Amino acid sequence: MSDLKSGLSEAAGAAFASLGLPAEHGRVTVSDRPDLADFQCNGALAAAKAARRNPREIATAVVEALQSHPDLASIEIAGPGFINFKLTDQALAVRCNAIAGDARAGASGVGQPRRVLVDYGGPNVAKEMHVGHLRASIIGEAVKRICRFRGDEVLGDAHFGDWGLQMGLLIIAVGDEHADIAEALDGLKTRPADWTEAQSEDLAQRLFARIGLEDLDRLYPMASARNKTDAEYRDRARKATAELQAGRFGYRLLWKHFADITRVALERDFHALGIDFDLWRGESDVNDLIEPMVAELRTMGLLVEDQGAQIVRVARQGETTKKKLPDGSVVVAPWPDPLLVVSSEGSAMYGTTDLATILDRKTFFDPDLVLYVVDQRQADHFLTVFRAAYLAGYAAEGTLEHIGFGTMNGPDGKPFKTREGGVLKLRDLIGMITAKAEERLHEAELGEQLDAEAFAEIARKVAVAALKFADLGNYRGTSYIFDLERFSSFEGKTGPYLLYQAVRVKSVLRRAADEGAEPGVIAVAEPAERELALVLDAFDHALSEAYDRRAPNFVAEHAYRLAQTFSRFYAACPIMTAEDPQVRGSRLALAAASLKQLELALDLLGMETPERM
């Protein structure tokens, strides 16, 4: 369903083309002066410069070609050649009725759907998530939903960090703390030939049931610190890691226990945020691909030896890249090179696993596009991995894209931490924002008539909306300061404000239904109705921008603008007290269309709206 702006752009483009000028000069944008016009076109100035003609002369010819356009109430030239458009009330009414009857609330889909895999979340085994995982999860979920809604076939992958040295460290740390487990693991180097899966699960339950996530959360920092100072301990961890990856039976049982108990906690925290993955594939899933992949890279002539290590050189002679610094400035830097594939000690590296993952995804999904929603500070790593994948033929040029983002900071402008200076766990942050949501609801005397269970569910939705809109209201590439007091408010540019406005519209529609009033045919006459109609029309463009730029903030901005505009419409245009039944029906239909579009936008951002507060 095409929006009004696109229709005008097409007509203006045809007018420019009829003058022998490029049609792209007909691009129409929302007017900078809504008091004077609905839309504007500045293409006559650029066209005149290229053609060495008078811009007003070109603008006049374009205006003459569009004078009879049925959707235009007026078309005028301003200044040196700006073209201003004002739509008829009828054109706005037709568009609003189409939006009201459209399940997609006026949003179009993509012309050519693609297979898209979104890699986001990035949780690790044996570690509870902290605030550093928040942005990847929130942004990735929104990007996934937007791509899927636009028509792409999309898979979201948590890309579970479940392999590598951290597993070896945990295996020996658990063994050192529990002698009986260490003794049992020593006797389980291979799986007995007649051993059943049920016997394996029973043994694991008896041996490892006492090891919980809190134990792993305690043991891993200790083991990691010791690994840096104790050479003997480090060697033991490396040996355990190698034996795990080689398939040592007992180690695999313990490793699976680590993964299982971690995933339970991760799914709990993700689900509390309205985030769900289609895939929980981990680094371990590509372990068996690494050895043949390394051999293939060597056969291709891409793998070369460098100081005992095996690397892939990805940079061309003298090649540079633009690099964004933490302060937001951009500098030209040498291309990061090379990709370390096998260390001098014979271990596969982080980049090796990422390269094998690209190959694996090609095999089971063959994506047209893979979006990596990962901290901007990993940009160099992905530049290198992507180039290696292109050189090896594991992905087509341009099909791998890093969706970087800034950090969520505390009041001091530094990455958010606890008062004690430690990294704040995501579970604790969810608890903080939920408690604040309950407090805010009580302050506003909202939900007081509900039972405890229903009130708690509304508080959860308000908390998630506060957390997500605080993030998605910003362009993903910027960092922002998390302000619990401001973001949890029911006033201002916040998630709770948007939920409140949606609930408000639902209340109006319920009241209308109770009184037997029904939505009718939309007619646009009042200024507030015109303003609301234009905002409803703008949803398709906001969604297209969010999709093309991988930037959910365009949808967030539209949702906020729609909520504000509806609020002004509601104040200026009485609905239930309108004396004319047709006017009442029209305004009810505008309210219903606004609610549908607002709820859809919020759902794309991963927010649920309550039925009442």
Residues 517-526 have pLDDT tens digits of 999 999 999 9
When pLDDT is averaged across residues 124-153 and rounded to a whole number, the result is: 90
CA–CA dist 174, 193 (Å, integer): 27
Is the pLDDT confidence value at 281 over 80?
A: yes
When pLDDT is averaged across residues 546-563 and rounded to a whole number, the result is: 98
In this prediction, residue 126 carries a pLDDT of: 79
270's tokens: 């993700």
In this prediction, residue 544 carries a pLDDT of: 96
Burial grade of 414 (CB within 10 A; 0-12, 13-18, 19 or more): exposed
Local structure of residue 161 (DSSP, 8 states) = B
Structural domains of the chain in order of their starting residue, each with its CATH number: 4-87 (3.30.1360.70), 165-272 (no CATH), 281-405 (3.40.50.620), 429-604 (1.10.730.10)
Give residues with Cβ within 8 angstroms of 215, minimum separation 6.
174
Instruction: Give the confidence band of 419 by pLDDT, cuts at 50, 70, 90.
Output: low
Instruction: Give the confidence band of 326 by pLDDT, cuts at 50, 70, 90.
Output: low
In this prediction, residue 430 carries a pLDDT of: 87
CA–CA dist 139, 373 (Å, integer): 7
Is the pLDDT confidence value at 299 over 90?
A: yes
Residues 343-352 have pLDDT tens digits of 887 778 889 9
CB atoms closer than 10 angstroms to residue 121: 25
Give residues with Cβ within 8 angstroms of 260, minimum separation 6.
none
Residues 216-241 have pLDDT tens digits of 989 998 999 999 999 999 999 999 99
Is the pLDDT confidence value at 327 over 80?
A: no
Is the pLDDT confidence value at 554 over 90?
A: yes
Q: What are the helix and strand counts (H, E) for the chain? A: 22, 15
Burial grade of 475 (CB within 10 A; 0-12, 13-18, 19 or more): middle
The closest of 503, 429, 508 to 466, measured between CA atoms, is: 429
Q: What percent of the chain shows pLDDT beyond 90?
A: 74
Which has the higher per-residue pLDDT, 66 or 424?
Answer: 66
In this prediction, residue 463 carries a pLDDT of: 95
165's tokens: 């040295």
Q: What percent of the chain shows pLDDT beyond 70?
A: 98
Which has the higher per-residue pLDDT, 329 or 167?
Answer: 167
Cβ–Cβ under 8 Å, residues 63 and 75: yes
In this prediction, residue 290 carries a pLDDT of: 94
pTM, whole model, 2 decimals? 0.92
- Please give the mean pLDDT across all residues of the chain: 92
DSSP 169-206: HHHHHHHHH-HHHHHHHHT-SS--TT--HHHHHHHHHH
DSSP 442-484: HHTT-STTS-HHHHHHHHHHHHHHHHHHHHHTS-TTS-EE--H
Residues 443-468 have pLDDT tens digits of 999 988 889 999 999 999 999 999 99
- Cα 8 to chain centroid distance, Å, stands at 31
* Greatest mean pLDDT range, 165-169, 188-192, 361-365, 416-420: 361-365
Instruction: Give the confidence band of 531 by pLDDT, cuts at 50, 70, 90.
Output: very high
Distances (CA, A) of 67 to 15, 60, 75, 611: 11, 10, 7, 47
Give residues with Cβ within 8 angstroms of 299, minimum separation 6.
none
Which has the higher per-residue pLDDT, 245 or 177?
Answer: 177
In this prediction, residue 337 carries a pLDDT of: 80
Is the pLDDT confidence value at 177 over 60?
A: yes
Residues 8-17 have pLDDT tens digits of 999 999 999 9
Residues 25-39 have pLDDT tens digits of 999 999 999 989 999
Is the pLDDT confidence value at 265 over 90?
A: no
The dihedral over CA atoms of 242, 245, 249, 251, expressed in degrees to the nearest 10, equals 60
In this prediction, residue 409 carries a pLDDT of: 85
In this prediction, residue 418 carries a pLDDT of: 62
Is the pLDDT confidence value at 200 over 90?
A: no
